[in-house]
Amino acid sequence: MKAWRFYSFGDMRMDEIPVPPLRRGHVLAQILCVQPSVTEAQLAFGIPTLAYERIKNRLELEAPVQLFGHEFCAKILETGEGVTRFSVGDRVAARAKLPCGDCPLCGSGREHLCRKGPIIGFQLPGCFSEFAVLPEIALVKVDDRLSDSEAACLQSLSDSVAAVETADIRIGNSIAIFGQGSMGLECMQIVRTSGAGLIVTVDVREEACRLSRELGADYAIDASKEDPVEAIRALTDGNGVDVVFECAGGSPKQGLAGTKTVMQAADAVRSGGKIIGVSWFGAPLEVDIDLLRERSLRYLFPDISTIEHLEHTVRLAASGRVRLKPAITHILQGIESVPQAFEITANKGRYKAINPAQVML
């Protein structure tokens, strides 16, 4: 089969490799659509972010190695021994992080809390290839109402569902979301379905603000033209919102906000409110703990997404409560287009992309 493998940061090549053997509890699947996550796109070019040192070590010790590709839609071609939930012809998507099966949490029936298991595309081969062998425990069936393109977004959407669940939204809560890329737009739509009141979004791109309003934000603030903190306070009688989702931070080289939006989030939330940290920064972050303590702010991080979260994303997207298609701005054809998808996704602002660029195989 054709598969993209990394020889070093910034050096990916399409190789002919054997189709991996089918194993017990796994399925052999044909990849229909795949997209690099923003994190994967940064790592591909050697930009420090989540898992940078682990990927660096793998490249130094194991290259060439099949990396990345946990956001995909695939069709099952063959099922291994012990597989009971899926049949040949089913379309599937996957959660990325799997339980290890050996730790005390897994041994006590709390596999959903395990952080020691492998991740598809990081420790396990991902799906920038024609075929993949995938563990049944990672998979959910894709609803027929969803296209292959929409289904490739489900893994990201499941992380957004986990982020909103962590926020514990109450009916009528006011919400601000910094960053209207794919996860920011997803969080915005999910909080709307979860009973939120006022929803304010922030971005520096006109096209992202426009799409945010189209998908349900009450106000979309263009931070390149006005101070978002002042605007949010003006909309909340000077108090700030109940919950802020910070989805904009990260490497400025890729058009992200650095750490600026973390500080803005703390200024835009009311005293006693919550900040949900969705972004990855790739380096230590300096935070004014005394300010958080003085104002009784809670800085929370999303729980790991589970198979139950992923199943819920299918329902959200299939029912139209969350719309994925409007954010899919770049669809490429053929496995040869994978490097272009990484380039677009790593530089979404330059290419006016919202969702990561997709490759249809």
Q: How many CB atoms lie within 10 A of CB 361?
A: 22
What 3-state DSSP class applies to 171?
A: coil
Computed on alpha carbons and rounded to an integer, the radius of gyration of the chain in Å comes to 20
- The answer to whether domain 2-153+328-360 has CATH 3.40.1410.10 is no
* C-alpha–C-alpha distance, residues 208 and 352, integer Å: 9
As given in the structure block, the two tokens for residue 177 are: 């979301």
CB 335 within 8 A of CB 127: no
Q: Regarding the domain delimited by 160-300, which CATH topology (the fold level of the hierarchy) does it fall under?
A: Rossmann fold (3.40.50)
Alpha carbon separation from 177 to 193, 243, 245, 264 (Å, rounded): 15, 8, 5, 11
Per-residue pLDDT tens digits of the chain, which is 361 residues long: 999 999 999 999 999 999 999 999 999 999 999 999 999 999 999 998 889 999 999 999 999 999 999 999 999 999 999 999 999 999 999 998 999 989 999 999 888 888 889 999 999 999 999 999 999 999 999 999 999 999 999 999 999 999 999 999 999 999 999 999 999 999 999 999 999 999 999 999 999 999 999 999 999 999 999 999 999 999 999 999 999 999 998 877 666 777 889 999 999 999 999 999 999 888 788 888 999 999 999 999 998 899 999 999 999 999 999 999 999 999 999 999 999 999 999 999 899 999 999 999 9
Q: So what's the pLDDT on residue 231?
A: 98
Q: So what's the pLDDT on residue 253?
A: 67
Which residue intervals of the chain bear CATH 3.40.50.720? 160-300
Which residue intervals of the chain bear CATH 3.90.180.10? 2-153+328-360
Q: How many CB atoms lie within 10 A of CB 130?
A: 14
How many residues does the structure list for the chain? 361
What 3-state DSSP class applies to 272?
A: strand
Amino acid present at 280:
W
309 φ/ψ sector (left φ>0, alpha ψ -120 to 50, else beta): alpha
Does this model's pTM top 0.85? My answer is yes
